Amino acid sequence: MYFLYILECKNGSLYTGITTDVDRRFAEHKSGAGGRYTRSHEVLRVAYTERCPDRSSALRREAEIKRWPREKKRGLIGLVK
């Protein structure tokens, strides 16, 4: 099982990725080992997760969400009323 996740950063930006273990991946991002973007943008919390049956569908969903405008992403994670 794979998960799509969206992280909220301290500056209000959103980071989208996939993993098999959300807790482990979040810890990696928090420690600075998660990726270039999150090393320079402090990660606050996991704002959203979504189960995907396999890696292929997780990658497709990630690509879809990354194309969305910011407000649509904020709506998905419940930051827009």
**Domain map (residue ranges) of the chain:** 2-76
Domain 2-76 grouped into CATH 3.40.1440.10: yes
Taking only the tens place, the pLDDT of each residue in 6-27 is 999 999 999 999 999 999 999 9
Would you say residue 36 has pLDDT above 70? yes
Write down the pTM of the prediction: 0.94
Report the mean per-residue pLDDT for the chain.
Answer: 95
Rounded percentage of the chain residues whose pLDDT exceeds 90: 91
Question: What is the pLDDT averaged over residues 46-63?
Answer: 98
Question: Encoding tokens for residue 72?
Answer: 């649509």
- Order of all β-strands in the sheet with 43-52: 14-19, 2-9, 43-52
Q: What is the DSSP string of 14-52?
A: EEEEEES-HHHHHHHHHHT-S-HHHHHS-EEEEEEEEEE
